[in-house]
Structure 1
């Protein structure tokens, strides 16, 4: 496949990756080539973890952080020092050729850091993962609106919404790169505990699954150095090839909306009639300080 001035050798296009739908590896590669202009602004400059499925979604998978030696020189890498003094050479996917190359390596789902290569310790995203205990998606929708009311309406924080393509929803707050991961995670945890205390029958921050019951789990653990999240518009390794899809908030009102509503089959029809709701997410980045002060006021009032 020729992309720009690069020739990328494509192998095993006919290998079945999603047997139920008869989607092949070639279909996956074609998807990422076609979606490149939309997905790249969301993943460029970020260290990337590959989740690879050489034999499709029913075969063995493996997580790969280190770029193999055989990866071409034109793919950008970022060497990151780990806590144990080893280093990991992460892929930085900044162009269509790199994205197609990763798809040819059977990377069905790229996962990305919440920080960029030039300020790895300072995230530009705070993320809340709303994880349901059952298949009742109406609970997840309610939890998302509840969290949005606190973030956006009370704390004046921009809140961006996305289906995960798996079970739940992600809510992402774009941040100016001023605070460490520990500070961001601490704030996200405080927000989650506050909402849990307000809605003890519906929300939980319990890490252990057997403590959650049928409540929505507010997961903020991804707000940490070297942790990753599914990239917007990434394909999930599930039947139907669902796609993690940014939404406008009013789309939660659709009765038939669920976390796997959008797939490699219908995402382009959507994008043909609607612009990417996250296209200006970078411009919306805010400082956390004012929101933190507001939150402490709200919290103190609630304790009186």
Structure 2
């Protein structure tokens, strides 16, 4: 029998106290690791300050597991039913051109409530709530393919850092919580999603030219080989990367963890879990807002420098890249068909 519900009293704005009921607090979210729903709630409250620093005031989708990690999740993009009165939402437009409200997180109690709603991974958009058509974050996802691992993604990340710095960006890095690496940079919100995606493609292609044996921009998995894929389509509207400090739905209860560049080669993803991260943050603070250095928010780059790489590639004759399968057909996009399934041109006998 599950333990009785727990009611938490969580400080809110203006000295208010929010009451969040956690039902079935002993239900194991991570059965192999003994991590319960209440453990996840307490983890999120412990890291609420840095979590909300980077993912607050942004439209956010919730990856929820109401039947546990062994079952398929679903994504809440509309605010879930029963959201508290203090929950905020903002209208977002999707690739289909339809629009609806999406949840925005402003305070620790909302993190606890999301965990009560069986949220494991949080997926913030790279935009602020009051200007959600123009990204203010350049996000690049380095995804090692079979035959490569985290250490390969790290090497690609350092080359990416050098490239981005040459373009005037100040990159920050985090583990994905799985095998990959995520590189972020703050940008001025001067361009819409498609422009920013083109900037990411420009950077990705240049990185591939510099590291052709390690990095690939091939969208189709069958063409990627044993390389680190630069997932440029994560820069699209309604495409997101796990939030900084967000748990991931994997054995070990890992967390997508901001780290300093100086420690990236010495860490492994399993270092950062729901159980270990609160102590790490308490000991050394938030790597993206270091006490002895500048915050990511203090370094705002101009995405035009990345878009210039895209423009130069277009002048060389390089085409548009494929979009995700649920997107409408986009201008200049190549056919959305796996190369192995594409119709071959008929041949004639000599």
1:113-145: CA deviations, max 9, x gaps? 001111111101111100001353221111011
Give 2:297's aligned residue.
282
TM-score by length of 2: 0.80
Give 2:161's aligned residue.
148
Task: Indicate if the aligned counterparts of 1:15 and 1:55 stay in contact, CA closer than 8 A.
Answer: no
Shift of 1:98: 0.8
Shift of 1:224: 1.8
Q: Runs in 1 of length 4+ with deviation above 6 angstroms? A: 294-300
| Residue 2, structure 1, aligned to residue 14, structure 2 | no
Q: 1:138 to 1:82 in 2, by over 3 A?
A: closer
Mapping of 1:96-175 within 5 angstroms?
96-134=108-146, 136-152=149-165, 154-175=166-187
C-alpha distance in 2 between matches for 1:299 and 1:270: 45
Candidates 232, 235, 248, aligned match of 2:244? 232
Q: Which has the greater radius of gyration?
A: 2
| Residue 198, structure 1, aligned to residue 205, structure 2 | no
Give 2:27's aligned residue.
15
SS at structure 1 position matched to 2:241:
strand
Shift of 1:161: 0.5
SS at structure 1 position matched to 2:140:
strand
Give 2:3's aligned residue.
none
SS at structure 1 position matched to 2:161:
helix
C-alpha distance in 2 between matches for 1:260 and 1:66: 32
TM-score by length of 1: 0.91
Give 2:337's aligned residue.
none
Q: 1:83 to 1:294 in 2, by over 3 A?
A: closer
Q: 1:84 to 1:271 in 2, by over 3 A?
A: closer
Q: Structure 1: which 5+ runs fail to align? A: none
Task: Indicate if the aligned counterparts of 2:149 and 2:179 stay in contact, CA closer than 8 A.
Answer: no
Task: Indicate if the aligned counterparts of 2:94 and 2:237 stay in contact, CA closer than 8 A.
Answer: no
Q: Structure 2: which 5+ runs fail to align? A: 1-7, 12-16, 290-294, 316-350
C-alpha distance in 2 between matches for 1:16 and 1:180: 41
Task: Indicate if the aligned counterparts of 2:202 and 2:313 stay in contact, CA closer than 8 A.
Answer: no
Shift of 1:261: 2.4
Q: 1:65 to 1:150 in 2, by over 3 A?
A: same
Mapping of 1:241-256 within 5 angstroms?
241-254=253-266
RMSD: 2.1
SS at structure 1 position matched to 2:205:
helix
Q: Which region of structure 1 is more displaced relative to structure 2, 220-229 or 94-103?
A: 220-229
Task: Indicate if the aligned counterparts of 1:185 and 1:220 stay in contact, CA closer than 8 A.
Answer: yes
Q: What is the aligned length?
A: 297
